[in-house]
């Protein structure tokens, strides 16, 4: 039983998930949350913005997020050979590679690239706020690092 508990703990660490009594119990009993994917979350976000046009959001805002979604999908297809990625696979290297892709391969200006990176940050912050993604550098209550 101790080995299974350690294994559950290691899986949570490796998947960069928040370690709580609940998440450890869920992992131990194999009642883990389903995987969450970046582009699905991005599409859901854009659908919500579309519903709020005229009530806090302008059509140009949606246009920018849709363009960000298009560029991210193309980036994933070109560099990862797929159209979506689990959010727990996001890291600084992914974001830096995406920014380089925007500037070098898509020939997008630095200002526009920054806007698309900002849109990605909005989605990442949404994931963090919902405890779907644990930011690097977070610590357990005992002071040890999550990862």
Lowest mean pLDDT among 5-14, 20-29, 50-59: 20-29
The answer regarding whether domain 38-129 maps to CATH 3.30.110 reads no
- The more confidently predicted of residues 14 and 34 is 14
**Angstrom distance (rounded) from CA 48 to CA 90:** 23
In this predicted structure, the answer to whether residue 109 has a pLDDT above a threshold of 70 is: yes
Q: Per-domain residue ranges for the chain?
A: 1-33, 38-129
Do 58 and 103 meet the contact criterion of CB atoms below 8 Å apart?
no
- pLDDT in the model for residue 146: 42
3-class SS letters over the chain: CHHHHHHHHHHHHHCCCCCCHHHHHHHHCCCCCCCCEHHHHHHHHHHHHHHCECCCECHHHHHHHHHHHHHHHHHHHHHHCCCCCEHHHCCHHHHHHHHHHHHHHCCCCHHHHHHHHHHHHHHHHHHHHCCCCCCCCCECCCCCECC
**Angstrom distance (rounded) from CA 26 to CA 8:** 9
In this predicted structure, the answer to whether residue 128 has a pLDDT above a threshold of 80 is: yes
CB neighbourhood size of 113 (10 A): 19
Q: Model confidence at 143, in pLDDT bands (50, 70, 90)?
A: very low
> Across residues 15-42, what is the average pLDDT?
80
């Amino acid at each position: 039983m101790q080995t299974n508990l350690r294994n559950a703990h290691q899986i949570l660490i490796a998947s960069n998930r928040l370690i709580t009594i609940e998440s450890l119990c869920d992992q131990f009993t194999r009642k883990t949350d389903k995987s969450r994917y970046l582009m699905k979350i991005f599409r859901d976000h854009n659908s919500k913005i579309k519903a709020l046009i005229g009530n806090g959001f302008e059509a140009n805002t949606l246009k920018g997020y849709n363009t960000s979604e298009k560029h991210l999908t193309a980036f994933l297809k070109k560099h990862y050979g797929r159209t979506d990625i689990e959010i727990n696979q996001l890291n600084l290297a992914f974001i830096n590679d995406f920014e380089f892709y925007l500037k070098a391969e898509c020939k997008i200006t630095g200002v526009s690239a920054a806007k698309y990176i900002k849109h990605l940050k909005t989605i990442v912050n949404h994931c963090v706020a919902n405890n779907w993604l644990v930011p690097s550098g977070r610590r357990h209550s005992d002071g040890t690092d999550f990862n």
